[in-house]
Amino acid sequence: MTYIADESRYENMKYFRCGNSGLKLPGVSLGLWHNFGTNNNFENMLAMCHTAFDAGITHFDLANNYGPVQGSAEENFGKIINGDMKPYRDEIVVSTKAGYEMWDGPYGNWGSRKYLLASLDQSLKRMGLEYVDIFYHHRMDPATPLEESMMALDTAVKQGKALYAGISNYDAKTTMKAMEILKDLRCPFIINQVRYSIFDRWIEEDGLKESASREGCGLIAFSPLAQGLLTDKYLNGIPEDSRIKRDGRFLKESAVTKERLAQIKALNEIAAERGQSLAQMALSWILRDGDVTSVLIGASKPEQITENVKIVERTVFTQEEMRRIDEISKG
């Protein structure tokens, strides 16, 4: 059956201008870091993308190494965007990144011009696209001159292979330097993708959140649920079907301490008082003050997307709620 997008898809989503650019992103974006790899069910991937777009999520976020195996998320998304979602390409923002190890040898990692531009060509081929909307350098490279990496992003834009340039995992100081370089090149740099959650506030401590807002750089937050800790999954300990048990690469069992579990339970009580799940409150918190343009969610089934998009209507917190959340999370 041919997919026809929901006609009311733009009615409930909120869209925010990305930095000083003309591009608006949905308050909630869909990340394809997990559950779009080789061993995942394609029909479920398709259903999640349909559900997301029907709910007004216009931004789909990828990277060259998403999978596993590396590149498979882009390949699977390519089948979707060139399948029954192809008529909606101009309504969709596709982003991808390069910066982590992708192939053997000295040219398949970090931030050299050779790696970044070759990787983008490979990503476009995997997705069957002529361009992506945002191309990111995925992480800071201590060995490659920043100018070289930024000039590679500029080349990608000037070649028409990307519409906007972005960076990811950059600290405040390096972000400001990157902005200066790209401004001089007249390259449309718009966004920094960073890890941010109630439990992980390094962008506040580093000054990035404040400086990005001041200088007109958009921010998009990944891991807003702290790899699942900020959900009801761990309220009663570590379940056997959790990501920790299946794959301990990103969240270690040692991270789920008695103290952390107590924090999760206390935060869950505040969420319940707000009429939200813990996950919904954690996502709402990211968007509370307008400094973050969009929050990236991951999903393993369509129903999770449907629940999480509701947060765009509940991003206001009282001073007392903020005080309690801060007290619990920093305690």
Q: Which domains does the chain have, with CATH numbers?
A: 15-228+287-302 (3.20.20.100)
From residue 27, how far is each of 57, 219, 290 by CA, in Å? 8, 11, 10
Distance from C-alpha of 175 to C-alpha of 121, rounded to nearest angstrom: 25
Does residue 189 register a pLDDT over 70?
A: yes
pLDDT digits over 99-125, tens only?
Answer: 999 999 999 999 999 999 999 999 999
The mean per-residue pLDDT over the stretch 11-30 comes to 98
Question: What DSSP assignment string belongs to 279-313?
Answer: HHHHHHHHTTTSS-SEEEE--SSHHHHHHHGGGGG
pLDDT band at 277 (very low <50, low <70, confident <90, very high): very high
Structure tokens at 134: 């945002």
Does residue 253 register a pLDDT over 90?
A: no
pLDDT band at 330 (very low <50, low <70, confident <90, very high): confident
pLDDT band at 314 (very low <50, low <70, confident <90, very high): very high
Q: HSE of 115 in the Cβ direction (CA atoms, 13 Å)? A: 26
Identify whether 68 is preceded by a cis peptide bond (ω within 30 of 0): yes
User: What pLDDT was estimated at residue 241?
Assistant: 65
Does residue 243 register a pLDDT over 70?
A: no
User: What pLDDT was estimated at residue 1?
Assistant: 72
From residue 259, how far is each of 14, 114, 225, 229 by CA, in Å? 36, 46, 17, 13
Backbone angles phi, psi at 138, to 5 degrees: -75, -25
pLDDT digits over 284-304, tens only?
Answer: 999 999 999 999 999 999 999
The separation between CA 2 and the C-alpha centre of its own chain, rounded to angstroms, equals: 29
